Amino acid sequence: MFKMNTTRLDKVFAEWQQETVERSIEEGLKQGLEKGLEQGLEQGLEQGLEQGRLAGSRDLLGLLLTQKFGENEARAEKLATLDLEAIEAATAIVLEARDEPSFWGALSDK
């Protein structure tokens, strides 16, 4: 009677199974890295756009204040503390302000 040597088949099957598992892990890691990179880029882009908008808004408000009230070295420090919401409010206030101290006073009231 013929007796089959299953040791060699078991070894080949085990190696094939191990390779399949390793490939699945590699593919999962690759997909996870790609997805993480994509999400990171999107978040970075959003944050960069928001920071750019904030910096641009501060610069514009600074120009408006300079046009209306002239140069002021202390202004940059004050502008640096303003968030986007405060800058938007300040843009409306600057048009009505008589002088710079009244502008900053009206802005702090909001």
The domain of 61 spans 6-109
* Domain total in the chain: 1
User: How far is the C-alpha of 9 from the C-alpha of 92, rounded, in Å?
Assistant: 81
Tell me 81's DSSP state. Answer: T
**In-domain check, residue 12:** yes
**In-domain check, residue 100:** yes
**In-domain check, residue 16:** yes
**In-domain check, residue 30:** yes
**In-domain check, residue 1:** no
**In-domain check, residue 81:** yes
| pTM reported for the whole predicted model | 0.64
Q: Which two tokens stand for residue 60?
A: 């514009």
92 — pLDDT class (breaks 50, 70, 90):
confident
The alpha-carbon radius of gyration of the chain (Å, integer) is 32
* 59-73 mean pLDDT: 92
**In-domain check, residue 40:** yes
* 15-20 mean pLDDT: 88
Q: What is the mean pLDDT of the chain?
A: 88
